[in-house]
Structure 1
Amino acid sequence: MLPLPRILLVSLFLLLTSAENTSFYFPFFTVRNLTLLGDSHLKNGGLIGLTREIGVPSSSSGSLIYENPIRFFDQESNITASFSTSFSFSISNLNPTSFGDGLTFFLSSDNLTLGSPGGYLGLVNSSQPTKARFLAVEFDSKLDTEFNDPNGNHVGLDINELDSIITADALLQNIDLKSGDLITAWIDYKNDLRVLNVFLSYSTVKPPTPLLSLEIDLSHYLKDDMFVGFSASTEGSTEVHLIYNWSFRTFGFLPVRSRSHPHNVSDSSVSAITGIPVSNSTKKHHKRFGLGLGIAGPAFFFVVLAVFGYVSVKKWKGMKVEKCLKAEILTGPREFSYKELYAATRGFHSSRIIGRGAFGNVYKAVFFSSGAIGAVKRSKHSHEGKTEFLAELSIIAGLRHKNLVQLQGWCAEKGELLLVYDFMPNGSLDKLLHPEPENGILLTWSHRQNIAIGLASVLAYLHQECEQQVIHRDIKTSNIMLDGNFNPRLGDFGLARLMDHDKSPVSTLTAGTMGYLAPEYLQYGKATEKTDVFSYGVVILEVACGRRPIERELNSQKMVNLVDWVWGLYGLGKIIEAADKRLNGAFKEQDMRKLLLVGLSCAHPDSAERPSIRRVLQILNNEADPIPVPKMKPSLTFSCSLTVEDLVSDDEESKTTA
């Protein structure tokens, strides 16, 4: 019975010795194991767009980062790892006269900072360019004299600054970075040779000669765990940067030393003693030691297996909720302990409550160990709360967009279900639009335009750019948070549902908030992307007018519907009178009129007449003409073409939304 355990021990040893090196391969991309910052987004076909297809003179910046830090230095052996990466990319332009600025592959100790657009390549912040610590290979498509670029088609190595220490013209190997063709790059660093090589080719076959080669010792810059990824930027151009696939690996760490040699014996000391005769007693001692190790080794291995099995079974029996939860979510968000969240919220004290909703209370959390501030959403003790918790966690954990509330982590202990988000200093949009008492911060016209565009951008991402379409189902001003710069962040995915792009919409019982619900959704409970568009239209009218979706008339008991009210003014040729009086006319009438008409077109009673959210975004960015809106609000007649099966959802969804 000894050979089998020995094989297992050898296998375990091989696992241990290879654990120091890291490797991964993405033949195509999903949202798993990746962080998308800024304008980077997942496209159909498993591609990553680092920048947006936006019109001149807008600029764009985005990053794609492998979410786990990678170890490049082993303190025990004092060895720096070598690394190798390859990826395919394309840089294209919708307008040949508009170009710049390119993309980079980088290693950085920071996975949170979004770099500035333009010549900063989305890599560093323009306000603090010298504070960044990174290694990057840039594929630069614009000549920028500020950084001493040789031309607008070069590859360069950047270390802690964007003035490259070495560059090479890509045309030396007949590569046009802006051709729009698929280009494959290989970047190899061998620490033992102190050499960095960069190869480029239009094919997937690695060329024999590197485009850029440099003798350099990078070990001084790789002492910390590093994040690896890509960044790109534009500056008033229509350049589009796509990443198609990516592989990465580190190598060169020494194997784990055997426990049978507790002392660090050098090669010279070994060679010095090999010529000394070994006595018979020593040989016998070695045989006995070998026999003892042969018996004790497998026994120890099986003891470890037994202990591991016992602990695993105990955990499986005692933590069913946590295990169920972990199966629902993607890797990435941190698991907080209940004790940590309890302390950060002062025991969930009432003074820390910053919001209330169907899910439960939201508390401000201050983490004393790091000084960070978060928002903790605490569930109610009910099955519905758990179901909504799982829905929100499984969806938002896999989404990355600058206009989404970022999920930091979660906790499932002591019968509690908690989500931890970034703290939004300016609270929810409804609190600023309708302050109580009316002496709060007044949102300027530029803030309101930015909110309209940002919300359209994130909905376009959810509807058309995710691997699976996400229908939010509860878009309203109280679910739109504002960060320190009054940028909108959409949150509360407890009512959202994932659906494949090529499948019919999910039918559910009606869920959401009155005033924001589309007529067909109220009638049939059928959630589609057009029901989200309707809710978006109501929000935009609320932002422009400063009025609630449904509110009581002054000195009257009559309730006024915001959409009907604005449409009535439009029919009288007085739509500008719908503008928020608190703005005191501090806006361009043309821009206000456009925003109000976009709101009406989105809130059209007939879902077929509503624009897609992508079209809305183009209109707001002056890339498309506004959609004609009838002077009188159209009436809508419902048919009974749906069957009973269309109106009944599955059991889980019914329980969630009933």
Structure 2
Amino acid sequence: MDAEFKDINGNHVGVDLNSMVSAKVFDLGFINVDLKSGDTVNAWIEFDGSTTVLTVWVSYSNLKPKDPILTMNLDADRYFNDFMYVGFSGSTQGSTETHSVEWWSFSSFFPSSSAGAAAPPPPAVTLMNPGANSAGSSSSLSPPPSIAPSVAQKESKSSSCHNGLCKENLGAVAGVVTAGAFVLALFAGALIWVYSKKFKRVKKLDTLGSEIIKMPKQFSYKELKAATKCFNANRIIGHGAFGTVYKGVMPENGEIVAVKRCSHSSQGKNEFLSELSIIGTLRHRNLVRLQGWCHEKGEILLVYDLMPNGSLDKALFEARMPLPWSHRRKILLGVASALAYLHQECENQVIHRDIKTSNIMLDEGFNARLGDFGLARQTEHDKSPDATVAAGTMGYLAPEYLLTGKATEKTDVFSYGAVVLEVASGRRPIEKDATGAGKGGVSSNLVEWVWTLHREGRLLLAADPRLENEFDEAEMRRVLMVGLACSNSDPLARPSMRSVVQMLVGDAEVPIVPTTKPNTGLSTSHSQLLLSLQDSVSDIDGIITISTSTSENSFSGIDIV
């Protein structure tokens, strides 16, 4: 299914006429045919030039059904040329599915001008699956059609030649037969190769599923498909790092859940399996709870509790009423508690790598639930991280992570600091052409702006004006100072998340934050590049991946997805 081309779902037949947007479609669910069932699906397509009617039948059976699924008038002159090819093509958008042509036949004929003409000739070319039943077996096939009516008459008078061509040029016939055999051999070899790759892939995925996917419950594809109404676009409630999230209503008990569907890219599947292996072992009140999973028909689906109050970014920027200060403090404390658990209390340390307000969900009591572990990585405690391709969302990424590609708990702390300042100020980490009215000046970078206010002794001006001063000034100052401490350019100066929890509850003092923002330690060229990149980002919710180099003077590439 591709919403860009207005597909109704992922299980349909469409007629595309010089366009990827179908002129007419039919939902195969109405005839109980599932293209991802793994069973052979047969299709018959007929076009009658005299009536200009195109007719399509689809069935699991080798016998053509009585009723077609699709009929439409088609002005063939607009689309057909005098000479054309008939062929097959397929695309899975990176899915693990394999498209195979088991058998096919094609026929083309012109109606006879005589009134007593015989029925149209049988198919001209036929390639059959050896496993087909009698309806498609080679024993029931008629011989190929003659080249022309006059040649057909000669055929009946000759026992050694099927048509006049073989009489005139035996060498041409031998050449055609040899070429045809060669093509069939190549086709058979390709089919064997495709199926061997398919079976190896399925075996690999099954092994992976048995070893990694050990979740609370395994759902069937059928019930999740029904819960999301065939993954209807109207049920989409969000987009993760490498997947789409749908609202689902379970058919058995009516429970409302969130179903996350893999994006079908090879990278997306790797991230989903990573998310499965990590989130399935975690248990914390401030993490989104995974109910179960599904791995069928080339799909990987995760089922989570649905958070009735949506994501934190929508509560901050799209709600009609401003989020009260008491809720904001509770949310920040909950996220800090979840990160302290991931960094220091799990058997293996978990680095989230994509902490942002859109990945923080809110339950019915406005308690924070951290989710979307598609970019998360597990490492042993106190082990030096490996350099990878930097991934995350611009505005939340630590400067040293952009340079080295090494994700640590301190890069998560920096992202949390950006979230703290965002929640307290009601401003996004990067705002293009911000007016800055009443906020002490214009700046596109939230961290830089708050640090400027801190240097000028006007830190409380960073508070969200929509709160209308309905907050405790000491609490607001403490929260903003925690945000600045976490956003320190020097990773060694950032506190641990356990210390942050203690600061927020008042059990520990916030460390002294210098009025002048510390140097990033990057070269001037690197700093200018990062600032210009941040200023150029208009969609701050986009995922950014940056290929980096550890050499002093080189960035190997930047790619915003």
Could you say which residue in structure 2 is the equivalent of 1:364?
247
Equivalent of residue 530 in structure 1, options 398, 410, 413: 410
Task: Tell me which residue corresponds to 1:351.
Answer: 234
Secondary structure of the 1:447 match is helix
How far, CA to CA, are the matches of 2:490 and 2:293 in structure 1? 40
Deviation of 1:555 (Å): 5.4
Q: 1:389 to 1:402 in 2, by over 3 A?
A: same
CA drift of 1:560 comes to 1.0
Aligned to 2:385: 505
Deviations 1:412-437 (A, max 9, x none): 222211111110001111111111xx
TM-fit CA distance, 1:333: 2.4
1:383 aligns with 266
In structure 1, C-alpha distance between the alignment counterparts of 2:548 and 2:201, rounded to whole Å: 39
1:599 counterpart residue number:
483
Is 1:492 matched up with 2:372?
A: yes
Counterpart in the other structure of 1:472: 352
Cα distance in 1 for partners of 2:245, 2:326 equals 29
Q: How far 1:370 sits from its partner (Å)?
A: 1.4
Secondary structure, counterpart of 2:390 in structure 1: coil
Q: Aligned equivalents of 2:234 and 2:342: distance in 1?
A: 35
Partner of 1:629: 513
Deviations 1:120-177, CA, capped at 9 Å, x for gaps: xxxxxxxxxxxxxxxxxxxxxxxxxxxxxxxxxxxxxxxxxxxxxxxxxxxxxxxxxx
Question: Is 1:481 aligned to 2:361, yes or no?
Answer: yes
Structure of higher CA gyration radius: 2
Query: Aligned AA for 1:446?
Result: S
Judge conservation of contact 2:425–2:463 (CA < 8 Å) in 1.
Answer: yes
1:573 to 457, 463, 486: 457
Gaps of 5+ in 1: 1-314, 649-653
Amino acid at match of 2:404: Y
Task: Give aligned pairs, total.
Answer: 332
Given the two structures, how large is their TM-score scaled by the length of structure 1?
0.48
One-letter amino acid matched to 2:357: T
Structure 1 residue aligned with 2:447:
563
Partner residue in 1 for 2:111 = none
Which residue matches 2:174? Answer: none
Q: Aligned pair 1:335/2:218, yes or no?
A: yes
| Deviation at residue 323 of structure 1 after TM alignment | 1.5
Q: CA deviation at 1:559?
A: 5.6
**Amino acid in structure 2 at the alignment position of 1:393:** L
Describe the shift of the 1:645–1:577 C-alpha distance in structure 2 as closer, same or farther (beyond 3 A).
Answer: closer
The answer to whether the 8 A contact 1:328-1:394 is kept is no
Is the aligned partner of 1:430 residue 2:313? Answer: yes
User: Once superposed, what is the RMSD of the aligned Cα atoms?
Assistant: 2.7
Secondary structure of residue in 1 paired with 2:402: helix
Q: Which moved more, 1:357-366 or 1:476-485?
A: 357-366
Q: 1:452 aligns with which of 332, 340, 343?
A: 332
Counterpart secondary structure, 1:461: helix
Could you tell me how far 1:506 is from its partner in structure 2? 2.6
Secondary structure in 2 aligned to 1:375? Answer: strand
1:317–1:570 Cα change, 3 Å: closer
- Secondary structure at 1:512's aligned position in 2? strand
Instruction: State yes or no: 1:402 paired with 2:285.
Output: yes
Q: Is the 8 A contact 1:403 1:487 kept in 2?
A: yes
Once residues 346 and 434 of structure 2 are traced to their aligned partners in structure 1, the CA distance between those partners, rounded to angstroms, is: 44
Residue correspondence of structure 1 range 158-557 to structure 2 within 5 A: 319-320=202-203, 322-329=205-212, 331-435=214-318, 439-554=319-434
Summarize deviations over 1:310-362 as a string: whole Å, max 9, x none.
Answer: xxxxx987942542332452633211111100000011111111002331211
Q: Which AA in structure 1 matches 2:379?
A: M
CA contact under 8 A between 1:316 and 1:323: conserved in structure 2? no
Distance in 1 separating the partners of 2:521 and 2:430: 22
Change (3 A) 1:416 1:657: farther
Q: Could you tell me which amino acid in structure 2 is paired with residue 546 of structure 1?
A: G
Indicate the structure whose relative CO is greater, using CA pairs within 8 Å and at least 6 residues apart.
1
Q: SS of the counterpart of 1:551?
A: coil
Among 462, 467, 471, the residue aligned to 1:583 = 467
Aligned mates of 1:646, 1:504 — CA distance in 2: 17
Match of 1:69 in 2: none
Q: Within 2, Cα distance between the matches of 1:370 and 1:404?
A: 24
Query: What is the alpha-carbon distance in structure 1 between the residues aligned to residue 327 and residue 548 of structure 2?
Result: 45
Distance 1:461 1:405 in 2: 14
Task: Give the match for residue 8 of structure 2.
Answer: none
Alignment partners' CA distance in 2, 1:576 and 1:337: 53
Mapping of residues 75-86 of structure 1, within 5 Å? none
Residue type at the aligned position of 2:232 = H
SS of match in other structure, 1:409:
strand
Q: Displacement, 1:503?
A: 1.4
Deviations 1:219-275 (A, max 9, x none): xxxxxxxxxxxxxxxxxxxxxxxxxxxxxxxxxxxxxxxxxxxxxxxxxxxxxxxxx
Between the aligned residues of both structures, percent identity stands at 60
Give the SS at the match of 1:335. coil
Query: Are the structure 2 counterparts of residues 444 and 383 from structure 1 closer, same or farther at C-alpha, using a change threshold of 3 Å?
Result: same
1:608 aligns with 2:492: yes
- Once the two structures are overlaid, the 10-residue window that deviates more, 537-546 or 323-332, is 323-332
Conserved? CA contact 1:359–1:494, under 8 Å:
yes
**Partner residue of 2:195?**
none
CA deviation profile, 1:383-410 (whole Å, cap 9, x unmatched): 1111011000000000000000011111
Q: CA deviation at 1:533?
A: 0.2
SS in 1 for 2:392: coil
Q: Which has the higher strand share?
A: 1
Hey, what's the Cα distance between the residues in 1 that align with 2:292 and 2:255? 13
